[in-house]
Structure 1
Amino acid sequence: MFFGFLRANIVVLNGLTHNYKVENGQVYKGKIAVENTDNKPQNVKIFLQDFTYLADGSISYTAPNSNDKTNAGWIKLNTNLVTLKAKEKTEIYYEIKVPDKVSQAGSYWSVIIVEPVEDIKPNDSKDGINITSVIRYAIQVITDYDSEKAKPELKFEGVKIDKEDGRQILKIAIANNGNLYCKTIAAIEIYNRKNEQKIGNFTSQAMGLLPKTSKSFYIDISKMPPDTYNAVIIATDENENAFAINVELEIKND
């Protein structure tokens, strides 16, 4: 049987995370800009889902309103299907209507899925069918209600070193046990065990952390020679709230 794999050429132009500070009973409007970069028309379906993720890399997409912190019921899409001509750009609009009374301060979220519609067609030249792979986008719509009364609460869940492509990569699992979305950066300060002098300082890329989720933050520490060190690992959000732990760091040759 012959299987053909093609990549759909739909691109989201204005980011995969849309944040709003919201108030009771108010209406907010947003849009998703998409482009068909292909030389042929493309159908695209648009729909809502709830989702969450964990530091082990797992991501769960579930039906709208299955998450107790969902805002899927607040969001109305202006369409569920668009057809883009070759090289055409368009905008998909959505409206967020916040309930008159939100029960708890903090972040509420869901995702708008933008997914090209690909047909499964018989293959004329060979026995079997062509199966087309589909690239789908999940645009996070995060609404922060009464955020002054909510806060993230970062917790370290695990620290390990893996060797990848000849590099020593420190992987730090961090969970947000609070009720507010935050942008998080992980950093490590490395000290000589004998004289306690700082000999290294490395930082991860910033990543968003939704409430009750976790992610692995990667830091390349390949510049450090094999040895055992004292270290401080620090997680910081965009408001400079910091959470730290002391660890013994063993960097091996192999």
Structure 2
Amino acid sequence: MPVIEVNDLRKRYGGTDAVRDVSFAVEAGEIFGILGPNGAGKTTTVECVAALRVPDGGEIRVLGRHPRDPALRALVGVQLQESGLQDKLTVGEALALYAGCYREPTDWRALAGELGLADRLRVRYANLSGGQKQRLSIALALVGNPRVAILDELTTGLDPHARRDAWGLVRSIRDWGVTVVLVTHLMEEAERLCDRVAVLDRGEVVALGTPAALAAGHDSLDDAFISLTTRSGEE
């Protein structure tokens, strides 16, 4: 059974179709990418999967359950693109606070060590670098000991060095046995990290497969992406 199944997902805002008939499945243990330009419907899709938005149609199953099943709260960790913490909250306080929301959280001090935050526990959120804030965001998504982690635009705004560090963290998460759904608009990120990718454009899936398969017949995944989205716009 796939970890996540999405069939004919639809979501409208006013008269605009943000997501239209989106379907894909995520297998256990993979890094599954949702790739597309800004406004493609990526965040809306994963927010429906994470039960943060109510879809207008279609069916979603996460670990065989409806997304709003309370049992999933401890099984799915989410790092949102626009998530933030109070500036005065320290790293240790944030981790302890989030850990207290779960029945069987992971050891948050050990998790902080794994993610390179052990020496930042007394540092306030406002004083963290961009990369450290992203590490904390990942830690908060993992502190409940989830089986699935949804990471939305994890490396947006990071410099190249911090971005490469974040990529290493994503690989580590998968090595810990967590299935990862990675939302990104960066072709290089998808190509380096993802086992399979669903390409979204204008609210629809325009391609689905491995990065290598999608890039076949093109010089790079970037060229394949441009071709796919151009073709989508002409239809």
Higher helix share: 2
Higher strand share: 1
Q: Does the TM-score normalized on the shorter chain lie above 0.5?
A: no
Larger Cα Rg: Structure 1 or Structure 2? 1
TM-score normalised by length of structure 2:
0.29
TM-score normalised by length of structure 1:
0.27
